[in-house]
Amino acid sequence: MQSIKAEYAERGSEPHKLINAVPFDTPEPGAGEVLVELLAAPINPSDLLTLTGDYGVLPDLPATGGNEGVGKVIQLGAEVSGLEVGQTVLLPIGCGTWCSHLVASAKDLIPLPGQADPLQLAMLTINPPTASLLLSEVVDLQPGEWVIQNAANSAVGGYLVQLAAERGLKTVNVVRREAAVDAVKRQGAEIVLVDGPDLAERVAEATGKAKIRLAIDAVGGEASERLAACLAFGGTVVNYGMMSGEPCQVSPGQLIFRGITLTGFWLASWFRQASPEAQQQLFGDLIGKIAAGKLSAPVAATFPLSQVSEAVHAASQGERDGKILLVPG
């Protein structure tokens, strides 16, 4: 049986020109392994940074794209227990998920509810845990407190709005264009502001001068300084992305005279340090919410794997509301 995978042999500034769908012979699962057929895999900012060579960890070339996704078990190898043919499973993170068929160790697969939307399940591994941990691992927030975030129209931003509301937290959500405001409000956000030099004044007015201790930054550049200015004395800016392509800028005045802390968050580091029990608890909670329809992200478009170049190009465009996902065909 022939399969296809999205492969690239070099990195560069125009990744859609470097990645292509190529055929290969479908592998056979060995002992303790299963053959999985792809159901859906998203294209995340981290995937694009991997293709350009700007991400923190880069695979050897040539490589297959994709860091997360869901599939269906179609063949069991010898000595496999606990999984069944036809079962929906979460693919191992970073395994090259833009592939119609792949072999994986059975112990690395997480069974998922078969009745849940595979497009939503496909986005489970990276963005929802990032949003959840940004709210819990940086500052010890209590119900009723405020959080401010930029890039609120991103997938992480949307998940963060939903999870914050469930935890009794209130959010100020900042976007970079007026056209993105309505999309964030559809995720449940009440306060959505367009970024600008007077952001701190508008945040104070919108929140009644609330004490905000945590700012979540995915943009970098001057946007980091604008978030810092919105915080109370001793507050923390946590950066997890570089949408501006520029280093975070926080002035000495914020750091010295207002006691602002600038730190970073990378999900891969959390995974390396967290116990298996902590990881299981996090994913169990998120899987339950997604399966019940209580946590979701908008989907802008799906592309067949054979059109991966067009899909990567679409995902590289800034002005869209929702994720681009790859599906088998």
Helix residue ranges per DSSP H, the chain: 45-52, 118-122, 127-136, 155-166, 181-186, 199-207, 222-230, 252, 267-273, 276-291, 308-315
Told to judge if 240 belongs to the known catalytic residues of this protein, a careful annotator would answer: no
One DSSP character per residue, 37-52 reads: EEEEEEE-HHHHHHHH
How far apart are alpha carbons 113 and 106 in whole angstroms? Answer: 17
Task: Please state whether 151 falls in left (phi above 0), alpha (psi between -120 and 50) or beta.
Answer: left
One DSSP character per residue, 62-105 reads: SEE--S--EEEEEEE-TT--S--TT-EEEPPTTS---BSEEEEE
How far apart are alpha carbons 64 and 57 in whole angstroms? Answer: 14
9 - beta bridge partners? Answer: none
How far apart are alpha carbons 309 and 21 in whole angstroms? Answer: 8
Phi, psi dihedrals of residue 127, rounded to the nearest 5°: -70, -45
Q: At 306, is the secondary structure helix, strand, or coil?
A: helix
Q: At 247, is the secondary structure helix, strand, or coil?
A: coil
Residue with tokens 């296809």: 4
Structure tokens at 290: 């997604």
How many other CB atoms are found less than 10 A from the CB of residue 263? 11
8, 55, 159, 240: which is the annotated catalytic residue? 55
- Catalytic annotation, residues: 55
